[in-house]
Amino acid sequence: MIVARTVEEIRAAVQQLRTNRPNSTVGFVPTMGYLHEGHASLMRKSAEQNEISVLSIFVNPIQFGPNEDLERYPRNESGDLQLAGQCGIDIVFLPSVEVMYPQATKTKIRVAEVTEGLCGASRPGHFDGVTTVVAKLFNMVKPDRAYFGLKDAQQVAVIQQMVNDLNMDVQIIPCPIVRETDGLALSSRNVYLSDEERRQALVLSESLQMAHSLIREQSTITAAELNDVIVKHIQAMPIADIDYVEIVQYPSMERFAASVKLGEQKSDILIALAVRFGNTRLIDNLYLPYQL
């Protein structure tokens, strides 16, 4: 596995493997590291679908707000390199902040509308940081395909919009959420949780499962009714502090009107949650593609 730390090194490494393996495609998995099985599922899919796979690990400061967890974000470079090797990654890109942002950056990429609700509303500027770093990484790696987890469903919608709007020559591959056996969605931030917080955090996947059953069983349930059931279920956990519960169309992220009957909708539905447990903000969601 090649480890690249500068823009020149990553470009040279990708070029070298493309030359050595004619007609190969490059798959790319951008991450912030502290890798777990969720990241591993993306890396394995990339290795399955492409002759060359690139992983990037970069804790991107410009996507964190001033009071967020940038300083304490968990890191484990040696563990990450080991897992990457096991998942078929050929090149790991590990840039420093100075490499990614050598001087005060004057260009930012901002996707409108799709970024306005949900995490965009509670984390101002977050998605501008995400689209800017992903565009820079795409320009450095020049992948044919890029793999993103639906754990961050709004992020997938925002990046797909950017790729469409700016004619970026890369195929975005959304990948399903990987969960612990008890339902908790894997996240690098789960390491912050105390035992009690982790126990109460199971309410996220439980409430999404409950919402799924309700939509299947009661096609007349409205967006407002379902929202209410989910909110009450989460609030039954004493330390759960709701940031948002949203039922939106996917991928536009437009909120359904309160009176809309979800079982009768002819569009993809996303039920997305962000909830704090102590100092840790967790997100989870249920994606229900419309089936004819």
Residues 169-228 contacting ligand AMP, CB under 6 A: 175, 177-178, 185-188
Q: For residues 266 and 258, is the Cβ–Cβ distance under 8 A?
A: no
120 binds ligand AMP (CB under 6 A): no
Shortest distance, position 224 Cβ to ligand AMP, whole Å: 29
Shortest distance, position 178 Cβ to ligand AMP, whole Å: 4
DSSP 66-109: TTSSTTT----HHHHHHHHHHTT-SEEE---HHHH-SS------
Q: How many CB atoms are closer than 10 A to CB 179?
A: 15
- The half-sphere exposure of 158 on its side-chain side, counting CA atoms within 13 A, is 28
Sign of torsion over alpha carbons 149, 81, 10, 43? negative
CA dist., res. 235 & res. 232, Å (int): 5
| Residue nearer to ligand AMP on the CB measure, 91 or 223 | 91
Shortest distance, position 35 Cβ to ligand AMP, whole Å: 8
CA dist., res. 116 & res. 246, Å (int): 13
Listed in order, strand segments (DSSP E) in the chain are: 2-4, 26-31, 52-57, 91-93, 145-149, 171-175, 240-250, 268-277, 280-288
151 binds ligand AMP (CB under 6 A): yes
93 binds ligand AMP (CB under 6 A): no
Given the residues 39, 126, 212, 233, the one annotated as active site: 39
| Residue nearer to ligand AMP on the CB measure, 57 or 262 | 57
| Residue nearer to ligand AMP on the CB measure, 90 or 152 | 152
In the sheet that holds 52-57, the strands lie side by side as 2-4, 91-93, 52-57, 26-31, 145-149, 171-175
For ligand AMP, which stretch binds (CB under 6 A), given 2-10, 34-42, 75-83, 201-209?
Answer: 34-42
Q: Is 38 annotated as a binding residue?
A: yes
| Residue nearer to ligand AMP on the CB measure, 64 or 256 | 64
* Selected binder of ligand AMP within 14, 42, 109, 133 (CB under 6 A): 42
Q: What are phi and psi of 70, to 5 degrees?
A: -55, -45
58 binds ligand AMP (CB under 6 A): no
Tally DSSP H helices, then E strands, for the chain: 9, 9
Question: Is 39 annotated in the active site?
Answer: yes
84 binds ligand AMP (CB under 6 A): no
80 binds ligand AMP (CB under 6 A): no
| Residue nearer to ligand AMP on the CB measure, 46 or 188 | 188
148 binds ligand AMP (CB under 6 A): yes
285 binds ligand AMP (CB under 6 A): no
Q: For residues 114 and 157, is the Cβ–Cβ distance under 8 A?
A: yes
For residues 189-215, one letter each, b for 16 or more C-beta atoms within 10 angstroms of the residue's C-beta and e for the rest, the string is bbebbeeebbebbebbbbbbebbeebb
| Residue nearer to ligand AMP on the CB measure, 3 or 229 | 3
87 binds ligand AMP (CB under 6 A): no
Which residues are part of a known binding site for (R)-pantoate? 63, 155
- Which residues define the annotated binding site for beta-alanine? 63
Query: Could you list the residues that contact ligand AMP (CB under 6 A)?
Result: 31-32, 38-39, 41-42, 148-149, 151-152, 175, 177-178, 185-188
Name the residues annotated as catalytic. 39
Residue numbers belonging to the annotated binding site: 32-39, 63, 149-152, 155, 178, 186-189
